[in-house]
Amino acid sequence: MEITLKPILQQEYELRFSIVKEAIYEHVDAVFGWDDDFQRKRLIDEYDPTWFYWIYNNDHRIGMLCYKPYDNSYHVHLLIVFPDFQNQGLGYMTMDYVHQLAQAEQRKSITLSSFIRNEKAVKFYKKLGYDITNVESDFYVLTRHFSAIE
């Protein structure tokens, strides 16, 4: 099994929004209240389109990844594995892909944020070697550092 990433095309942006909404609605709604117009505008204004990728596994589209480079790190904004493909190790494989990319580029870390209430995601990232490095109201900031010998 192999993970590949393909950029999300401009004509797929509305699909991108609906996938993001499906994945994070329950957490955003519980913490802030969901507003379609606000969330759509936020996705357009605050996230560069070049940060978004479809995740493929053996030619099957299995999810979406949004990450950006900054300083000497990557920040993962979203990792979404579609429900039909969850619990098959594909999230681990996707993050391993990002880890290998970061190490190949000699980046020192990967950061991400997770809703504190999203216990499944927090447990997932901790299993991957992420540590909670900060708490910001309803979010954990998690970081995985890389050393030169990894």
All domains in the chain, ordered by first residue: 3-145 (3.40.630.30)
Distance CA 133, CA 141 (A): 6
Per-residue pLDDT tens for 49-92? Answer: 999 999 999 999 999 999 999 999 999 999 999 999 999 999 99
Neighbouring residues of 30: CB distance < 8 A, sequence distance ≥ 6: 117
* Cβ–Cβ < 8 Å for 115, 101: no
pLDDT tens sequence across 89-114: 999 999 999 999 999 999 999 999 99
Angle at alpha carbon of residue 142, lines to 57 and 70, rounded to 5°: 75
